[in-house]
Structure 1
Amino acid sequence: MVMSVMLVVEAAYNSAISIAVRLVGWRPERRFKWEPLGGDEEKGEDAAAYPMVMVQIPMYNELEVYKLSIGAACELKWPKERLIIQVLDDSTDTFVKNLVELECEDWASKGLNIKYATRNSRKGFKAGALKKGMEWDYAKQCEYVAIFDADFQPEPDFLLRTVPFLMHNQNVALVQARWGFVNDRVSLLTRIQKTFLDYHFKAEQEAGSATFAFFSFNGTAGVWCREAINDAGGWKDRTTVEDMDLAVRATLKGWKFIYLGDVTVKSELPSTYKAYCRQQFRWSCGGANLFRKMIWDVLAAKKVSSLKKIYMLYSFFLVRRVVAPAVAFILYNVIIPVSVMIPELFLPVWGVAYIPTALLIVTAIRNPQNLHTVPLWILFESVMSMHRLRAAVAGLLQLQEFNQWTVTQKVGNNAIEENNETPLLQKSRKRLINRVNLPEIGLSVFLISCASYNLVFHGKNSFYINLYLQGLAFFLLGLDCVGTLPGHCCI
């Protein structure tokens, strides 16, 4: 119950700050200097006024999306002689590797300064690729580094809107843009993901940027000052959240971050349940593990105020990386179901009713367009809390799986436009067996059993309606009954 109070206070704080920012019309330009760059960059006029920028695109067997990201990067409005596109290809598939290299050669023939870089091994995964990319001689000539994952497609004016913040504010290390999604309306799964990520961007990152000029780098759709990367110690592969790791270390060196909510970069959401689970496990496990590794560094930092240290350790790490998954799973999927069979176990109404309602309101208030999916989002998050808690425990205790890295599978714009469908239920028994998720099935049996007991023996509390719905959610996701559906069939 104490942890649930911590969680609702944190969520209410983030939402209140983000709403206040919108109401007063606060923009980063009011706090940080920003001036448009002069000259016509397409004609090469005043090219010297533009700093050298390198765009890094790390990829690994990205057959479906490699053309999208490379093409978008090559179409950025910036003097050609002041821009370097670096494709960091860790692909192990020779066919894909050859296609990526040919694509780079094609753009190079059009006059683009594009570099195709590979490694002998995948040591360090994405962090290792980014670190290796910074070691090239041409990379050392660049003042700023923009990073885009293989499925991200920046608008042509992305650099024109972000780089000036870095040029005119010597203490700013990172300018982070918001993610947009090309497939957020393809299925119920992607709509639910959008609700989760909208809260992250609209509340958490906006609040962190407005109050402490600190938030987590999202690993993509951002521009870094190369000096800040070097000052923070460069990229490290000690966790699966190399982006968050660099952000925290740069902050401890005194650097500040800017979040631009009105600059959106298109990307792709995971289109299958298992892909989403792997992504969330990597994020949750890495964040918890970084908390373990950085706690003493934060406390000992001399360039960070005490208030900012409290915010980083309590709000950014403890509540979001540990408390949130613990409350979501242990309280709502274990304690409340068990309470219906133990009359002596007293659960105050404010803990089981008022706090969940408050959390629902502060989340939904920043996503008014998704109100109709919020009930389904709650049930889905109840299931995901199991994976996030397991990941957080693995990260805190450094269990065997804490440093596993699995690339999220993409389908690309073409597949989305062609309405590539994954039916809700597979007809083949063999396919169905392969898709069964036993932990979800086990929790569904537990929750439905508790709900049935509560229905027959009411006792003091009646939670059976909620428990039946939670059990049904676990059961459907246990059978992997979620996938890509035509837009007109979406809820």
Structure 2
Amino acid sequence: MSCEYVQAYEFVAIFDADFQPNPDFLKQTVPHFKDNPELGLVQARWTFVNKDENLLTRLQNINLCFHFEVEQQVNSVFLNFFGFNGTAGVWRIRALEESGGWLERTTVEDMDIAVRAHLNGWKFIFLNDVKVLCEVPESYEAYRKQQHRWHSGPMHLFRLCLPAIITSKIAIWKKANLILLFFLLRKLILPFYSFTLFCIILPLTMFVPEAELPVWVICYVPVFMSFLNILPAPKSFPFIVPYLLFENTMSVTKFNAMVSGLFKLGSSYEWVVTKKAGRSSESDLLAAAERESKTTNQLQIQRGASESELTELNRLKAAPVPVKRVNKIYRKELTLAFLLLTASVRSLLSAQGVHFYFLLFQGVTFLLVGLDLIGEQMS
């Protein structure tokens, strides 16, 4: 953004390396800025090339479909504000400059610039029908690190932005939306509720005969909320139960991230690149050109090599490099798996049927995640 040639342009399109926009992307997005001088951002929707690769990618697709089709669209229509997704968007350069530009003070610099632009009066538009192809993490390790960054960063940003939000000139109801809904509800209250209720309170009540949670708290409400989340991805309805159990399991990571961001612990400053399988670039012309170049180089080498050298070259080419894939062990998840499975046995002995099944399946889910048996194993 500081280069001289940028000064001659009015807009900038931002993409991560694994995103593949359609050739007409700018034709679908830039016209929205015309005759709308207050518009600072046009955000497109993500679609995923590997959403059906394994169970983990299917569950991620449910969450992200809800995020784009519900959260982003609703905020765009009623508030003209939402969190910038960091990629697949077009910014008005003046909006970036007047809002202070990109800052490296948090691990969610995209959300940071969006909040500051909103406080400066800029409006956003989300286009659900403009889709950009990308991919989601296929391994639990990569997904876990991504979610930690996505939940610790906003809490860190909340601490930094709270004084600016309170003293800004935007309407009071917009301040309330930023503080209560955008930050506290989505990034603090919901992860805290899920973690404490399903991972701590419920299993402990099995060891306290006087304590009893009603069925609707542990069954009806979670199923109803999962049903609402899965509506934007109707083909994922068969995965509603795994989705509910996995989201409760992920609450451990999200809660830990939330605490680290809120109290500025060390892990809230770590920016770890999310490992991807590279499926979104498998058909990339650059990759094809690179393969063609390698083939040409090999042919040139073979033309100038003797017969013995060719034999040695083919032997080296045929010998695959061994790649060791190992499962990681996640102690927090395994600890909670032990607690939940023990509580399920206690529930069975006390003839609490509904509690038993929930605790059993939730404990098994924690066990599978703790042993890194969900998703692909990354080398």
Alpha carbons 1:183, 1:416 under 8 Å: kept: no
* Distance in 1, Cα, partners of 2:376 & 2:333: 20
CA deviation string 1:79-129 (max 9, x = no partner): xxxxxxxxxxxxxxxxxxxxxxxxxxxxxxxxxxxxxxxxxxxxxxxxxxx
Match of residue 468 from structure 1? 360
CA deviation string 1:231-257 (max 9, x = no partner): 110011111100000000000000100
Alpha carbons 1:202, 1:366 under 8 Å: kept: yes
- The structure 1 residue matched to 2:199, chosen from 327, 333, 336, is 333
Normalised TM-score (structure 2) = 0.85
- The structure 1 residue matched to 2:30, chosen from 147, 154, 163, is 163
The alpha-carbon deviation at position 343 of structure 1 amounts to: 2.0
* Distance in 2, Cα, partners of 1:186 & 1:175: 30
Structure showing greater relative contact order (alpha-carbon pairs closer than 8 Å, 6 or more residues apart): 2
Q: Secondary structure at the match of 1:155?
A: coil
Q: Secondary structure at the match of 2:269?
A: coil
Match of residue 341 from structure 2? 448
Distance 1:431 1:164, change over 3 A: closer
Alpha carbons 1:285, 1:395 under 8 Å: kept: yes
Match of residue 180 from structure 1? 47
Greater helix fraction, Structure 1 or Structure 2: 2
* Distance in 2, Cα, partners of 1:347 & 1:157: 54
Q: How does 1:5-404 map to 2 (within 5 A)?
A: 134-302=1-169, 304-404=170-270
The alpha-carbon deviation at position 186 of structure 1 amounts to: 1.0
* Distance in 1, Cα, partners of 2:103 & 2:13: 18
* Distance in 1, Cα, partners of 2:37 & 2:118: 14
CA deviation string 1:351-394 (max 9, x = no partner): 33332233122212222121011111111111111000100000
Q: Secondary structure at the match of 1:316?
A: helix
CA deviation string 1:19-75 (max 9, x = no partner): xxxxxxxxxxxxxxxxxxxxxxxxxxxxxxxxxxxxxxxxxxxxxxxxxxxxxxxxx
Distance 1:431 1:181, change over 3 A: closer
Question: Which consecutive unaligned segments of at least 5 residues does structure 2 have?
Answer: 284-323
Alpha carbons 1:340, 1:462 under 8 Å: kept: no
The alpha-carbon deviation at position 350 of structure 1 amounts to: 3.9
Q: CA RMSD in A?
A: 1.9
- In the alignment, structure 1 residue 439 sits paired with structure 2 residue 327: no
* Distance in 1, Cα, partners of 2:210 & 2:30: 61
* Distance in 2, Cα, partners of 1:214 & 1:437: 37
The alpha-carbon deviation at position 291 of structure 1 amounts to: 1.3
| Structure 2 residue identity aligned to 1:478 | G
The alpha-carbon deviation at position 346 of structure 1 amounts to: 3.7
| Structure 2 residue identity aligned to 1:312 | L
Aligned length: 338
| Structure 2 residue identity aligned to 1:476 | L
Distance 1:352 1:413, change over 3 A: closer
* Larger-gyration structure (1/2): 2
The alpha-carbon deviation at position 312 of structure 1 amounts to: 1.1
* Distance in 1, Cα, partners of 2:72 & 2:257: 22
Distance 1:414 1:136, change over 3 A: closer
